[in-house]
Chain A
Amino acid sequence: MSFIEIRGLRKEFADITPLAGVDFSVEKGDVVCLIGPSGTGKSTLIRCINRLETPTSGEIFIDGENVCEKDADIPALRKKVGMVFQSFNLFGHKSIIDNIMMPQIDLLGKTEQEAESEALKQLKRVGLESKANSMPDELSGGQKQRAAIARALAMHPQVMLFDEPTSALDPTMVTEVKNVIRKLADDGMTMVIVTHEMQLARDIATRVLFMDDGIIYEQGTPFDIFENPKKEKTRSFVLKITRWNWDCTENCYDYIGMSASMEEFCRSRFMSRKQLNSCLLVLDEIFTSYIVPAYHDHDFSFELEVSGDNDKIKLTVNYSGDTDPFEREIDPTSEAIIQKKTKTVLSDEMGKRVFEIVI
């Protein structure tokens, strides 16, 4: 049996089901990253592992022990499982060193000297020795999170859970926390990390789990998930793809409505003025050159697909009918514009023409 083994885990609330049957396992030394859209049960899952949430059904074995049983010793389980929260959860009334010493003394029965030397050791590990006497309020977000990691590490957990450890930090502080987590991965710490930092997941994960709709939708190595996602939702998520659609059917079209709708979509993606103008120009030229003369014979639908940081914009035109409306002579100026602004991606399928807009 694996170090952590989860079988058929469900969590239901009255109006929502964040976990709809999750199975996975974590081996010693694994670094498992949970990714996926917000509200798909990642945090609920990780909180079930140390029983901050009580699952509705299913089993969780940690080190061979079923922690979902009624008489399970939850505090003992939690000592084995370190947890780092989004909001740090340092004890506000204690200095950093006390935050780290107090649980060791209270829960592990260490003497003050032992606890103090352990605390200093862990603070050194996260680079915060100089802040030992500070109060949590006096630290920046990144420093607080590193202190919280040191506090968890001082309990010598066998696995560390991270629940969106960088989500509450401003961008300048994300790196320092990511680096600490990287170092832990290098040290061979077993970790389960819920994160929106794709780069972190890509760099340190041994396995990436993509969650959606309360299940593990796709899993694999970072390469599988980030470079070669098999499933549509995974691909959309990791490439941050969003789409715009418009149909022109039944010999009827509303060009003004269509271009306005596309413009709105482009703005919602925070496109630059230049990108926006290119998209609108290309749509205009394609429409007047190819669609207007042929709309009696074909139904058309348009799709604009934008990925990542607007670095890839594709305009796809789907058409019906047996003939190819794009196989015709057009006005040379329009042709020049289309050629300048787009790379035509030749598609071997009938009924589809893809223009990649050059940025």
Chain B
Amino acid sequence: MKRIIALLTAVLIFSAVFMLPSNAAEEQNKPKPEFKSFDELNGKTISMLTGAPFEDLISSKVPDLKEFSYYANASELVMALKTKKTDAGLLNTMIVDMFVNKDSDLAMFPEPLKEAQFGIGFSKSYDDIDIWQNAFDSIDPNVIDEVWDKWTGADDSVKIMPEVDWEGKNGTVRVAVGDSMQPACYVGSDGQVLGLEAEIILLMARQLDYKVEFLPMEFSSLIASVESGKADMCAGSLIITDERKKALNFVAYYDTAFVFIVRSEEGSANGYGIFGDFTDKLKDALITDGRYKLILSGLGTTIVISVVSGMIGLLMAFGMEALKRKNKKPIDVFLSFYCRLVAGLPVVVILMILYYVVFASSELPGTFVAIVGFSIIFAPKAYALITNAVDAIDKEQLEGALALGYTEKMAYRRVILPQARRIYFPLLKTQFALLVKETSVVGYIAVVDLTRSGDIIRGHTLEAFFPLLIVAVIYFLLTWLITVVIDAGNTIITGKRRKVS
């Protein structure tokens, strides 16, 4: 074991030495791209976001490319670009502008691949889209350009939202927005929604005297939340496509294009190290803009969801065990159906069904739905552990208690369950630690938990390593701390052994 640790450490130090040299000083001039024409991309790896349908188009322009690779979001793609895992990434001009403005190691490829338009999506059942279109048309195009430049620029200090100084006499619109889609829309460190599209929506709303309620959520949930009626409109650097037009109506607000982001000439010459400027990046991930607040509130949400649904789930499990002891056929059928159903469905699917179908029309917050969902998911697991542990206790223990004059119920409570607890408790603890980790998917239903807050910070800093590392460390400490707390609680519940002299 010691030898393995020593070896790992050596490898880490060794690789760190090679990664250390990093970003040189910034230059004033616009950096030149490493590749300047489609021909130069032959033999290179080209990346795009998962699901983007541009393989054929790219192949027609770059016939001899090496391969395609796919990334879940822009910052991961850019990370791969900087670490030279890929050579060009297809994104829209808004994101490319921002990356290029912020990082001189990156540059925009001179030839756009395909023209497109950005739009704000509206529910098909929302009738007032025309007045929003009119409101947009009456905004001075220069204002829109200014907004664009502001949010895609390098200077973070000017990226603030206009103040809402109108009353909102005509009501409130609910807007689903991507929570980590910098610069279009993202969640700031204190939880407020920022971004280019968010500002444009406010500009329109000011004209119409609407109040705006932003509902930040994961990108993949945007359209579902509009379709299910949770929101009236949505924004998340949505490009208007025929496919999307089937689900949404659009107000187009800006022309864009799909364009490659590539390394700049100097970026290509530079190495890139995750350990590069360690303290700066760590500071950027935690301190800048008070991002630790986001982490803390995400951590709070994670704890609330796991602890509350763990408790409810445990209560449900004991209820199920009590039902099972009634020994009625229909109850048994129901219990095994329920357990199988939960065991057979992915956690995310259960959560999404609850959020977008069962509670679709209610105004319940995502955290509540998450608690309901994880209670439902945790209960059968805890029940299986408890009921198996109870079955493992000898029948003789029950007979011993009955023969003394205990009723069945009392014998169960005083004799069987305490002994079963010694069996199921350690397993239950592990299951609970798993539950804590499982809650990391609540981002799908618009809840910002620890994982999601890490994602959001990644969206801000455009840097994957440190937010992930911080989140990982916190999860590790959290699960460890939780087991310690549970153990302490258990000692108090079971009490000390009685001693007589």
Name A's B-contacting residues (CB within 8 A): 50, 52, 75-76, 78-79, 81-83, 85, 87-93, 95, 97-98, 101-103, 106-107, 116, 120, 132-133, 148, 151-152, 155
Is B65 located at the chain interface by the 8 A CB criterion?
no
Q: Which of B8-16, B97-105, B414-422 contacts A (4 or more CB under 8 A)?
A: B414-422
**Contact A95:B419 (CB < 8 A) given known A75-B405, A106-B406, A155-B404:** no
Given A83-B404, A85-B396, A89-B396, 7 other A-B residues pairs in contact with their CB atoms under 8 A: A52-B402, A81-B403, A85-B400, A90-B400, A95-B497, A98-B498, A103-B405
Question: Top 3 nearest A-B pairs by Cβ distance?
Answer: A89-B400, A79-B405, A83-B403
Say yes or no: B410 contacts A106, CB within 8 Å: yes
**Sample of 7 A–B contacts (CB below 8 Å):** A52-B403, A78-B402, A85-B396, A91-B415, A93-B418, A133-B497, A151-B404
**Contact A89:B405 (CB < 8 A) given known A95-B497, A106-B410:** no
* Set B403, B405, B497: member contacting A76, Cβ < 8 A: B405
Q: Across the two chains, which residue of chain B brings its CB closest to A161?
A: B403
Say yes or no: A95 contacts B498, CB within 8 Å: yes
Distance, CA A150 to CA B313, complexed state (A): 41
Is B401 located at the chain interface by the 8 A CB criterion?
yes
Say yes or no: A133 contacts B399, CB within 8 Å: no
Residues of chain A with a CB closer than 8 A to B402's CB: 52, 75, 78
CB-defined interface of B372-416 with A at 8 Å, one 1/0 digit per residue? 000000000000000000000000110111111111001000110
Distance, CA A89 to CA B404, complexed state (A): 11
Say yes or no: A97 contacts B419, CB within 8 Å: no
**Contact A107:B406 (CB < 8 A) given known A93-B422, A95-B498:** yes
* Set A89, A103, A133: member contacting B397, Cβ < 8 A: A89
Distance, CA A3 to CA B120, complexed state (A): 91
Residues of chain A with a CB closer than 8 A to B415's CB: 91, 93
Residues of B401-447 at the interface with A, using a CB-CB cut-off of 8 Å, are 401-407, 410, 414-415, 418-419, 422
Residues of chain A with a CB closer than 8 A to B326's CB: none
Distance, CA A28 to CA B101, complexed state (A): 102
Is B473 located at the chain interface by the 8 A CB criterion?
no
- Closest chain-B Cβ to A288's Cβ sits at a distance in Å of 59
Name B's A-contacting residues (CB within 8 A): 396-397, 399-407, 410, 414-415, 418-419, 422, 497-500
Distance, CA A247 to CA B418, complexed state (A): 64
Residues of chain A with a CB closer than 8 A to B422's CB: 93
Say yes or no: A103 contacts B500, CB within 8 Å: no
A-B contact count (CB 8 A): 73
Residues of chain A with a CB closer than 8 A to B410's CB: 106
Residues of chain B with a CB closer than 8 A to A151's CB: 404
Say yes or no: A155 contacts B405, CB within 8 Å: yes
* Set A75, A85, A132: member contacting B500, Cβ < 8 A: A132
* Set A52, A75, A95, A120: member contacting B399, Cβ < 8 A: A52
- Closest chain-A Cβ to B407's Cβ sits at a distance in Å of 5
Residues of chain A with a CB closer than 8 A to B419's CB: 91-93
Say yes or no: A78 contacts B403, CB within 8 Å: yes
Residues of chain A with a CB closer than 8 A to B400's CB: 85, 88-91, 148
* Set A78, A93, A95: member contacting B404, Cβ < 8 A: A78
Say yes or no: B407 contacts A89, CB within 8 Å: no
Residues of chain B with a CB closer than 8 A to A132's CB: 500
Distance, CA A148 to CA B410, complexed state (A): 19
Say yes or no: A106 contacts B499, CB within 8 Å: no
Distance, CA A259 to CA B318, complexed state (A): 68
Distance, CA A158 to CA B500, complexed state (A): 28
Distance, CA A148 to CA B396, complexed state (A): 13
**Contact A75:B498 (CB < 8 A) given known A89-B400, A92-B419:** no
Distance, CA A78 to CA B401, complexed state (A): 10
Say yes or no: A75 contacts B406, CB within 8 Å: yes
Q: Across the two chains, which residue of chain B brings its CB closest to A133?
A: B499
Residues of chain A with a CB closer than 8 A to B404's CB: 78-79, 83, 103, 107, 151-152, 155
Distance, CA A85 to CA B404, complexed state (A): 12
Distance, CA A98 to CA B415, complexed state (A): 12
Say yes or no: B500 contacts A97, CB within 8 Å: yes
- Closest chain-A Cβ to B495's Cβ sits at a distance in Å of 10
Distance, CA A337 to CA B246, complexed state (A): 115
Distance, CA A78 to CA B418, complexed state (A): 23
- Closest chain-B Cβ to A71's Cβ sits at a distance in Å of 15
Residues of chain A with a CB closer than 8 A to B414's CB: 102, 106
- Closest chain-A Cβ to B267's Cβ sits at a distance in Å of 66
Distance, CA A133 to CA B401, complexed state (A): 20
Say yes or no: B401 contacts A91, CB within 8 Å: yes
- Closest chain-A Cβ to B183's Cβ sits at a distance in Å of 61
* Set A81, A87, A116, A155: member contacting B396, Cβ < 8 A: A87
Distance, CA A82 to CA B405, complexed state (A): 9
Distance, CA A93 to CA B500, complexed state (A): 17
Distance, CA A236 to CA B262, complexed state (A): 102
